[in-house]
Structure 1
Amino acid sequence: MSDTQTQKAKKPIVIPKPNSDFYQTFQMLSETEQAKVNKVREFMKTAVAPIINDFWARDEFPFDLVPGIRDLQIAGLGYEGYDCAGGSNLLSCYVAMEIAKVDCSLATFYGVHSGLAMGSIYLCGSEEQKKKWLPPMARLEKIGSFGLTEPLVGSGSSRGLLTTARREGDTWILNGQKKWIGNSTWGDLTIIWARDEADGQVKGFIVENKTTPGFKVEKIQHKMALRVVQNGLITLENCRVPEENRLQNDTSFRDTARVLRMTRGFVAWEATGCQMGAYENALLYAQTREQFGKPIASFQLIQDLLVKMIGNITACQCMVMRLSKLQDEGKLADEHASLAKAFTTVKMRETVGFARELLGANGILLDYNIGRFFADSEAIYSYEGTREMNTLIVGRAVSGFSAFI
């Protein structure tokens, strides 16, 4: 065979663009839903990706992005009426995954505001409260937070909540502290969960951060994860809240748990998005980084890491897709959300570890993004219920026996 024939016989190598949607889950969305997701993707690519490492390093929130997020009309996705975006839970969570694929902090901001804060009012508020609060929150004119976790109480919130509420006429007096409360240092309202001194039941209150007497918040410093999220330590000292701001359809922790069931599934999507971002950045690096005269993506051990990562991601995507379908069908149970949160966050930890390993020393530099995903995954792994607590919820469901103390 001549040299010319040999050259013709060789096919040019086509290097695929990094794509973490290996099983094409995007195709399971409707055309309208795909258009919404594509709009979010473009915003994250052009407005967020170029600046987010700088804000992460400075431990600051990019407030200039809020108008752009508002224009996406994603606050209140999954909620019908009250000027909310409507649509399915599947769409809302897919959007969260796309945000997390670029930055987990902004995904957390979105989840706290649209999921936890708006969700508390949507699920537990009266009609009057929904009409008053949800429209401005959907327009991001009012930013919400969710105050459940305390300095001394995390997993034991259902029984051990220390923040108290005492009714005096048409006013409630709140005392206690809340910790790790995202958005609270600059937001407008916080859903505070407190134990009623009269009946011992947990009740929810809409507390206006900037005008409520006795409400004080200080920024938590020196975080190693989700540094763009502004977490606060809230202190409530004889904080006076009117009865009209008590969530009228919340009577016990069972109602609080309805919100957590919904948002725990949301975190599973966020964990999946975190993996996708780490994988796509690692793959791009492997395709362009050369050692021994060729891209490291051509090495067997590197491909082994890449396949482990895409396997984890694909398994998580399939799980959370089904999870959201169950929620949209009204079939979601606590154990469904708990299994998804526990499984996806374990796989997330593994995937971001593989990505950091692939980059070697460069894996700890913000310049390559992997270090940010690696650090942020530690926060996602812990919040909305630890792996151990979620495991016990699933274990009780499958075995018929409760192992809780």
Structure 2
Amino acid sequence: MTATDLFGYCEELTEAERDKLALLRAFLDEHARPFLAQWWEAAECPEHLRVGLAGLRLDDDPALLDDTGRLRPLYVGFRGLELARCDLSVSVLYAGQVSMFRTLVREGGSPEQVAELDPRIPTFEYTGCFALTEPDHGSDVAGGMETQARREGDGWRITGRKRWIGNAAISDVIGVVAVDESGDAKVFLVPRDAPGVSVQDISGKISLRMVRNGDITLDDVVVSERQRLQRIDSFRDIADILAFLRPDAAWTATGTQIGAYESALAYAQRRRQFGRPIAGFQLVQEKLARMLGNATASLAMVVGLTNAREQGRGGDAESALTKAWISDALRETVALGREIGGGEGIRVEHDLARYFADAEAIYTFEGTREINSLIVGRAITGLSAFTR
């Protein structure tokens, strides 16, 4: 599947899965890759790609589904890798809808809600985002959530703010996590254009420049009980949903490393100094070898995690260790790629700067390195260091 898959992990995919991923790569190479530098510099969201991506049927092709109507986790991982290999923002554009929002509805909705909404999500007929984090609360949001939902008869009144919500401005509904009067978590599918909802794009970013991250204000927003996802009644339920999504960040970080390595190799092969390509210089080859080693080790680790979780092994600690280790490797990999580009390495045209900048977002989201390290530390010592 890719020259960086040195140990052939893609051979664990079915033929139908490999064919589908090949279609995805061809689509991205034709419709996204030639324009990425332009979109990134202009901070322009390529939301028009959603139509073409939906047409590939990456999530609802019957040839990909198991007997329960679900995708195999390994395929989902490689799909995330392939998207991130092209571009992180394009990955968020697609996965924020089809992975994150769909999982929220599938795992949190009643059977009736799932039956009504789930088929419309992979087609982008019904679009949504997952609004969990707040301006003053990220990793500690479960213990300090300020967005409130107050029951009023047959409905609810929501007040609060959410921040860093990807795809917020281009979604039909916002999956708002709020606490009720007893302090329990609830999730509401709030129409983006409902009275009292305001979405402001977050600007001035050095990462995810093409993603429309939203700063959301909810001012006495009224919703019905029907708009509440019926199987979410606590932060434990939210945590269970996030557990489904936890490997995604590691796959994304691995795909970004592969994209950075391939871009650095291509640049080194065409860039000439002292009469020959710099790919023939010892120092450049050493950097390329380290980049490939990082990407290979990351792929091995995330495939191992994914297979373990499918077999009922590998919990929070294993996921946290994988995310933390691969994120560290990612930072080194993209920095080496930028170094290979020299002065040209800071120009978006050669892709190296884009991977370099976007790595900072991956390093932070789905739990910072420090938070993930504390999860691992708690597991191996039996002692929690989160609070004094």
Provide TM-score, normalisation by structure 1.
Answer: 0.91
Contact 1:116-1:259 at 8 Å conserved across structures:
no
The aligned residue for residue 237 of structure 1 is: 219
Distance 1:132 1:286, change over 3 A: same
The aligned residue for residue 174 of structure 2 is: 190
Within the alignment, does 1:154 sit opposite 2:138 as a pair?
A: yes
Cα displacement string for residues 137-181 of structure 1 (whole angstroms, at most 9, x for unaligned residues): 121112211101100111101111111111111111111000011
Within the alignment, does 1:106 sit opposite 2:127 as a pair?
A: no
Cα displacement string for residues 274-311 of structure 1 (whole angstroms, at most 9, x for unaligned residues): 11111000011111211122211111111110111111
Within the alignment, does 1:335 sit opposite 2:322 as a pair?
A: no
Letter in 2 for 1:361: G
Within the alignment, does 1:209 sit opposite 2:192 as a pair?
A: yes
Within the alignment, does 1:86 sit opposite 2:70 as a pair?
A: yes
Query: How far 1:336 sits from its partner (Å)?
Result: 1.9
The aligned residue for residue 404 of structure 1 is: 386
The aligned residue for residue 243 of structure 2 is: 261
Within the alignment, does 1:177 sit opposite 2:177 as a pair?
A: no
Query: How far 1:77 sits from its partner (Å)?
Result: 8.8
Cα displacement string for residues 73-127 of structure 1 (whole angstroms, at most 9, x for unaligned residues): 124799x99xx97321110111110011011101112221122211111111110
Contact 1:77-1:86 at 8 Å conserved across structures:
no
Letter in 1 for 2:100: L
SS of the residue aligned with 1:238?
A: strand
Contact 1:53-1:369 at 8 Å conserved across structures:
yes
The aligned residue for residue 381 of structure 1 is: 363
2:5 aligned residue (1, 18, 21): 21
2:49 aligned residue (40, 57, 65): 65
SS of the residue aligned with 2:48?
A: helix
Letter in 2 for 1:222: G
SS of the residue aligned with 2:267?
A: helix
Query: How far 1:208 sits from its partner (Å)?
Result: 1.6
* Alpha-carbon distance between aligned partners in 1 of 2:270 and 2:69, rounded to the nearest angstrom: 41
The aligned residue for residue 322 of structure 1 is: 304
Contact 1:117-1:190 at 8 Å conserved across structures:
no
Q: Percent identity among equivalent residues?
A: 40
Contact 2:59-2:71 at 8 Å conserved across structures:
no
Query: How far 1:395 sits from its partner (Å)?
Result: 1.1
1:200 aligned residue (172, 183, 202): 183
Query: How far 1:20 sits from its partner (Å)?
Result: 2.3
* Alpha-carbon distance between aligned partners in 2 of 1:138 and 1:88, rounded to the nearest angstrom: 16
The aligned residue for residue 36 of structure 1 is: 20
Contact 1:220-1:231 at 8 Å conserved across structures:
yes
1:282 aligned residue (264, 282, 292): 264
Structure showing greater radius of gyration is 1
* Alpha-carbon distance between aligned partners in 1 of 2:28 and 2:343, rounded to the nearest angstrom: 27
* Alpha-carbon distance between aligned partners in 2 of 1:219 and 1:135, rounded to the nearest angstrom: 29
Contact 1:21-1:314 at 8 Å conserved across structures:
yes
Provide TM-score, normalisation by structure 2.
Answer: 0.95
* Alpha-carbon distance between aligned partners in 1 of 2:58 and 2:174, rounded to the nearest angstrom: 20
Contact 2:47-2:93 at 8 Å conserved across structures:
no
* Alpha-carbon distance between aligned partners in 2 of 1:389 and 1:257, rounded to the nearest angstrom: 15
Distance 1:76 1:160, change over 3 A: farther
* Alpha-carbon distance between aligned partners in 1 of 2:61 and 2:69, rounded to the nearest angstrom: 5
2:341 aligned residue (355, 359, 366): 359
The aligned residue for residue 326 of structure 2 is: 344
Which 10-residue stretch deviates more, 331-340 or 48-57?
331-340
* Alpha-carbon distance between aligned partners in 2 of 1:77 and 1:200, rounded to the nearest angstrom: 41
Contact 2:50-2:94 at 8 Å conserved across structures:
no
Contact 1:113-1:144 at 8 Å conserved across structures:
yes
1:224 aligned residue (206, 230, 235): 206
How many residues are aligned here?
A: 384
Unmatched segments (≥5 aa) in structure 2: none
* Alpha-carbon distance between aligned partners in 2 of 1:147 and 1:214, rounded to the nearest angstrom: 16
Contact 1:18-1:284 at 8 Å conserved across structures:
no
Distance 1:77 1:400, change over 3 A: farther
2:40 aligned residue (56, 68, 72): 56
Distance 1:115 1:107, change over 3 A: same
* Alpha-carbon distance between aligned partners in 2 of 1:143 and 1:327, rounded to the nearest angstrom: 28
